[in-house]
Structure 1
């Protein structure tokens, strides 16, 4: 019985977890929604992992409740997290906006996870409570790993770009050095040439 309850809670917690990667064009916004019941909990974590066409690694984020009233905003953040507990039944919308940018497309990774309310907290067995806490901690570890993957990708792209610039600068310096050497040899050679007079 306890094993079935633990398995059900774990399945609910993992079923409510989604990871996404999207690209948002300049001047556009992308919105998503979750239908929640009272006391359901939802957490959204996000990170801008890259910018196509230059620009800063930032995005605007806002959350609307079922009555379309804004309940939370983040402006020009590269990473963020928002947690909430639903106060009423309805569609809770969260949006990522790149409307402040005129030329840069943003690459965004985000996770949505939550806990569905299944009954009175006092009636939950201690084992079930521990399993819920363990599931929540496991989700935090998973989010942290996703964050580290995105950061590694950004740093790798930066390192490859720097490596490419260093390579081309070294090639340009070599060409300049050999050109100067050839010009010096030619110039010095002209000093020691014997002019024949007929």
Structure 2
């Protein structure tokens, strides 16, 4: 019963944590060190690596900088005549590989000193995680949600600005209509005043003519 219970627990753990995590160290004196991983199609290999150099002064390994070592990381497809799919450099970095075909992959790293008098005894720390691209990418869900929230906030601000712009345009249109209406009324009032003035002048002229005729001036 204990054995069955232990097997069930292992099965549950395997279901809950389908990705494989591997952390180990490689020791090198400048030679190329490789290890192999069997990856199925669609598998995502993510990892980090860093190189430390042995220091006789402290009798231990210390961090290195790009001026001390030339570090290259390569991934080759063994099943495809060692076709190289990844090649990058740096004393520390990240590796992201999506297997396009199923088969054995060879991962190699080499750290060589930049000066011929440099010490080549190094310790390479590697930390890899293997799983499906969907399951590993789900770890970035928090970042994606945060970005999505920021995008929603920006969209709300844009909508608010558009509403304000529409309100300004509506007010401008209303003011323009009122101005045109006032200008139209003012024009017609001027025309009416002009007509009244002309009629008044005509009437006065007729009245004066009649007055002068009666007075026998004309």
Q: TM-score, with normalisation over the residues of structure 2? A: 0.45
Using CA pairs under 8 Å that are at least 6 residues apart, name the structure with larger relative contact order, 1 or 2.
Answer: 1
Q: TM-score, with normalisation over the residues of structure 1? A: 0.49
